[in-house]
């Protein structure tokens, strides 16, 4: 077996992984299909192409993505270093000169004596297939949200048909502590409802023991109609041509469903059947459900609200739902073309396959979402592939760090898994007295994370 690692995909995750392995003295073959073939969103022949916005989000210590970048800086991430070097003015955010960034990453990788770049598409019926590489040794698959069809076919054979997805239809996720629990109530459909003739006191007692996995937000007629009116008129994101063809076949955005008629949502995701509003004692006119999204129950997703609304519009319109008036969003809803595996069943927290120790995944294909998150998974997969070759213990990043929390999130069983970006809701709560000042709370969580990174440094 080769003491060499093959990486498929020279994007953000693949380049970071290649650098982490090469700097530990191990040879890497990096396969990139460009310029032989381009995905529908790529157009530049350089590696680590930034396909859309040039922003790597906030640099602030009290922002989840800012924390993730700081952790990556401490761990010697090549891509974040180059992002800092090619930054353009963007206030508190880190935005890069796109061309300059990719050029510099490419030069760095090309000049690395341990890395060989092979400009070929890997995939079924191609000159080199995934299975050919797997026979040679460790492989990291980092082909991103637009992995080529030939490789997707091989990945599907590896993972099973139901565990490779081709688009992302995610509903927004809100922080539990930003939900108004004077309006919201816990409980499952039909179990929470007061039965005909049921004693009110008995029912109230029962309500205290309600299951906490669903939070319910009742609406009266006026509230519902106001919300509906704003929803159908809200601004949506323009999809790319290639996305328009495929996305809506399987899953309808909430705003599109709403446009079918004023009551359509009340017979769909907002149906009030099986609930009693504790404030009135009656069934509400409509009801929005939130489902627990992580083990610690700090974040909840809005059930059935996969959406294409612009982020600002999601905040404005979804905050009209009673109980969400001050909601903080851990993640906005998205619907776009996105190839990703069901990591929660397939990977461990080193981004390594549970059933094949020589196979790692990295980047957006693992279900992390975003540029910086993709870099972070490339770093973890790269470090651990190196540890495996060097016969050392693999490194698990603490769940108190953003890097560790992301790897834990994507590798923890979750039958409603959807891609996740960095946010404070996936970190464990602080110990001790609850801190209500958000900024202070996030600052303390960030300090704790950075201390753990310093301890783990490898
Ligand atoms: C249209 C679009 C817009 C996005 N906009 C943003 C944004 O604004 N902000 C943000 O944070 N995130 C955004 N993302 C999400 C994500 O952060 C980026 O896609 C990011 O580049 C993912 O990094 P990656 O390394 O996983 O994949 P990529 O950077 O896409 O790299 C994958 C590489 O693999 C190559 N490849 C694919 N198949 C093969 C094969 N069979 N053989 C060899 N090479 C192959 C590709 O050519 C590519 O170079 C966007 C995604 C898409 C699709």
Q: Which two tokens stand for residue 398?
A: 């603490």
Q: Which long-range contacts (CB under 8 A, 24 or more apart) does 448-453 make?
A: 448/400, 449/67, 449/71, 449/400, 449/401, 449/402, 450/67, 450/70, 450/71, 450/74, 450/401, 452/397, 452/398, 452/400, 452/401, 452/404, 453/71, 453/74, 453/75, 453/397, 453/401, 453/403
Residue 244 has pLDDT above 70, yes or no: no
pLDDT tens, residue by residue, 401-458: 999 999 999 999 988 888 999 999 999 999 988 888 989 999 999 999 999 997 776 6
- Residue 122 Cβ contacting ligand 1 at under 6 Å: yes
CATH fold for domain 173-332: Elongation Factor Tu (Ef-tu); domain 3 (2.40.30)
- Residue 272 Cβ contacting ligand 1 at under 6 Å: no
**Best mutation site among 19, 51, 140 for ligand 1, i.e. most ligand atoms within 8 A of its Cβ?**
51
Q: Which two tokens stand for residue 329?
A: 């969003």
Confidence of residue 248 (pLDDT cuts 50, 70, 90): low
**Best mutation site among 17, 52, 57, 147 for ligand 1, i.e. most ligand atoms within 8 A of its Cβ?**
52
CA of 157 to the centre of ligand 1 (A): 22
CA of 145 to the centre of ligand 1 (A): 5
Nearest CA to ligand 1 atom 49: 11
Contact 133, 8 (CB under 8 A): yes
CA of 143 to the centre of ligand 1 (A): 7
**Best mutation site among 371, 377, 422 for ligand 1, i.e. most ligand atoms within 8 A of its Cβ?**
371
CA of 364 to the centre of ligand 1 (A): 7
For the chain, where do the domains classified as CATH 3.50.50.60 start and end? Answer: 4-166+338-456
- Residue 363 Cβ contacting ligand 1 at under 6 Å: yes
- Residue 379 Cβ contacting ligand 1 at under 6 Å: no
- Residue 42 Cβ contacting ligand 1 at under 6 Å: yes
**Best mutation site among 8, 11, 43 for ligand 1, i.e. most ligand atoms within 8 A of its Cβ?**
11
Q: Any idea what the Cα angle at residue 424 is, between residues 384 and 57, rounded to 5°?
A: 80
Alpha helical stretches, state H, 234-275: 241-246, 254-258
Residue 211 has pLDDT above 90, yes or no: no
- Return the pLDDT at 240: 75
What length is written for the chain?
458
For the chain, where do the domains classified as CATH 2.40.30 start and end? Answer: 173-332
Mean pLDDT within 376-389: 98
- Which class would CATH give 4-166+338-456? alpha beta
Ligand 1 atom closest to residue 337's alpha carbon, by position in its atom list = 53
Ligand 1 atom closest to residue 42's alpha carbon, by position in its atom list = 47
Ligand 1 atom closest to residue 365's alpha carbon, by position in its atom list = 26
Mean pLDDT within 162-182: 90
Ligand 1 atom closest to residue 421's alpha carbon, by position in its atom list = 11
- Residue 341 Cβ contacting ligand 1 at under 6 Å: no
Task: State the CB neighbour count (10 A cutoff) for residue 124.
Answer: 17
Contact 95, 56 (CB under 8 A): yes
Residue 207 has pLDDT above 60, yes or no: yes
CA of 230 to the centre of ligand 1 (A): 33
Contact 310, 235 (CB under 8 A): yes
Higher pLDDT, 398 or 208: 398
Average pLDDT, the chain: 93
- Residue 368 Cβ contacting ligand 1 at under 6 Å: no
| Phi, psi (degrees; rounded to nearest 5) at 260 | -70, -15
Strand order in the sheet with 214-219: 185-186, 214-219, 286-292, 299-302, 173-175, 329-331
Mean pLDDT within 272-291: 94
Name residues whose C-beta falls within 8 Å of residue 143's C-beta, 6 or more positions apart in sequence: 8, 9, 11, 14, 151, 339, 363, 365
The answer to pTM > 0.95 is no
């Amino acid at each position: 077996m080769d003491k060499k690692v093959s990486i498929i995909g020279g994007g953000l995750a693949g380049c970071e992984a290649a650098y982490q392995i090469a700097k530990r003295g191990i040879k890497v073959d990096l396969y990139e299909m460009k310029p032989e073939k381009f995905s529908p969103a790529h157009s530049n022949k350089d590696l680590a192409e930034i396909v859309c916005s040039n922003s790597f989000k906030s640099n602030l210590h009290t922002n989840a993505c800012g924390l993730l970048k700081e952790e990556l800086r401490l761990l010697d991430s090549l891509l974040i270093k180059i992002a800092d070097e090619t930054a353009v003015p963007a206030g508190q955010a880190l935005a890069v000169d796109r061309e300059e960034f990719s050029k510099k990453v490419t030069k760095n990788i090309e000049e690395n004596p341990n890395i060989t770049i092979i400009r070929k598409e890997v995939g079924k019926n191609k000159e080199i297939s995934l299975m050919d590489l797997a026979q040679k040794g460790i492989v990291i698959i980092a082909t991103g949200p637009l992995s080529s069809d030939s490789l997707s076919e091989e990945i599907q054979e590896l993972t099973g048909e139901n565990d490779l997805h081709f688009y992302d239809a995610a509903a927004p996720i809100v922080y539990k502590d930003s939900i108004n629990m004077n309006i919201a109530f816990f409980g499952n459909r039909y179990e929470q409802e007061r039965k005909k003739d049921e004693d009110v006191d008995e029912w109230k007692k029962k309500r205290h023991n309600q299951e906490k996995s669903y939070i319910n937000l009742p609406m009266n007629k006026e509230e519902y109609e106001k919300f509906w009116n704003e929803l159908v008129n809200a601004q949506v994101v323009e999809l790319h041509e290639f996305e328009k063809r495929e996305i809506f076949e399987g899953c309808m955005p909430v705003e599109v469903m709403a446009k079918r008629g004023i009551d359509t949502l009340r017979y769909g995701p907002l149906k009030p059947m099986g609930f009693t509003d504790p404030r009135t004692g009656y069934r509400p006119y409509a009801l929005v459900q939130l489902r627990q999204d992580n083990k610690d129950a700090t974040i909840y997703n809005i059930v059935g609200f996969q959406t294409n609304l612009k982020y600002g519009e999601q905040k404005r319109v979804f905050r009209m739902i009673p109980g969400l008036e001050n909601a903080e969003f851990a993640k906005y809803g998205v619907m776009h073309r996105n190839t990703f595996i069901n990591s929660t069943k397939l990977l461990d927290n080193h981004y390594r396959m549970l059933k094949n120790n020589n196979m790692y995944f990295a980047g957006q294909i693992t279900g992390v979402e975003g540029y910086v998150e993709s870099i972070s998974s490339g770093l973890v997969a790269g470090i651990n592939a190196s540890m495996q070759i060097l016969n050392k213990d693999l490194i698990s990043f603490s769940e108190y760090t953003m890097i560790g929390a992301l790897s834990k999130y994507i590798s923890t069983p979750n039958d409603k898994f959807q891609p996740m970006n960095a946010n404070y809701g996936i970190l464990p709560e602080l110990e001790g007295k609850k801190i209500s000042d958000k900024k202070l709370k996030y600052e303390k969580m960030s300090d704790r994370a950075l201390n753990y990174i310093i301890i783990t440094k490898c």
